[in-house]
Amino acid sequence: MRSPLHPPTEELTADQLADMRTYFDGQSRIDLVVWVAHEHRTESGPDVDHHLLLGLDDEAYAELDVAAIAFGIEQEAPLAGWVDLYPLSEVEDVREIGTVVWERDAPPAAGLDPLDFHYTYEAVETPRDLVASVRWAVEDEPSVRRVELSRERLRKGELEVFTAFRAYVLYDEAGTPGRSVNRLSDVLGEFVTGNMGVGAGHSLDARVIATTAYERAAEEGRT
């Protein structure tokens, strides 16, 4: 969980509270919502922003696609501040610090919204010009091993809520992606319309179905 957390310095309006409580009354997944302030540092010094901490049953948290649930809630709910989804036990620990916006006071009734958000992934086509541009963007960074491209869809049940083109830069643990992420973002903008994101890491989530657009040969990048 983020730290340090403090009592909020911004008060939620009566209308905000009413709208959020109506939303959470209608769902069966979240059990506790707490409004807190989070202190963090920026280039210009200390700063404070505000977060809604959403508590999800600990066992469910370990099993569900929590990133999809959090993003899905952000897409449809009338929320304030940043939204973070945590195990219920962790949110319970900070309820005395913040303002309790909403909490479940009885077992959820049948028919409530289960907030069944989840991601699906599809491989994408990689025309020759796209592959060449991807290579140009990353080949000067010796730590970059591979670039994977995918179409990510956020669904609620079977309904598509949001879609984005995703690029994943995979690099050696001992190195860095260098400028590859920014350069790749620039060149992909020539090929992709709509939402797009480029991320970097050491491995690809096993759930992601993707197309390899670049792979460095084993002997390349050695010194």
pLDDT in tens, 183-205: 999 999 999 999 999 999 999 98
pLDDT at residue number 69: 97
Question: What backbone phi and psi angles, to 5 degrees, belong to 91?
Answer: -70, -35
pLDDT at 220: 56
* Per-residue pLDDT at 62: 94
Q: Decide if pLDDT at 219 tops 60.
A: no
Look over the chain and give the mean of its residue pLDDT values, rounded to a whole number: 93
Please check the confidence at residue 222 and state whether its pLDDT lies above 50: no
**Which residues are CB-contacts of 127 (< 8 A; sequence separation ≥ 6)?**
none
pLDDT in tens, 43-99: 787 889 999 999 999 999 999 999 999 999 999 999 999 999 999 999 999 999 999
Res. 223: pLDDT tops 60: no
Q: Who contacts 4 (Cβ-Cβ below 8 Å, separation ≥6)?
A: 38, 39
Structure-token pair, residue 45: 């010094």
Fold for 5-115, please state it. Answer: Beta Polymerase; domain 2 (3.30.460)
Q: Checking phi first, is residue 210 left (phi over 0); if not, alpha (psi -120 to 50) or beta? A: beta
Q: What percent of the chain has pLDDT over 90?
A: 88
The residue to which tokens 């994943």 are assigned: 168
Q: Which pLDDT band, with edges at 50, 70 and 90, does 33 fall under?
A: very high
Q: Give me the pLDDT at residue 54, please.
A: 98
pLDDT of 21-30, one tens digit each? 999 999 999 9
pLDDT(149) > 90: yes
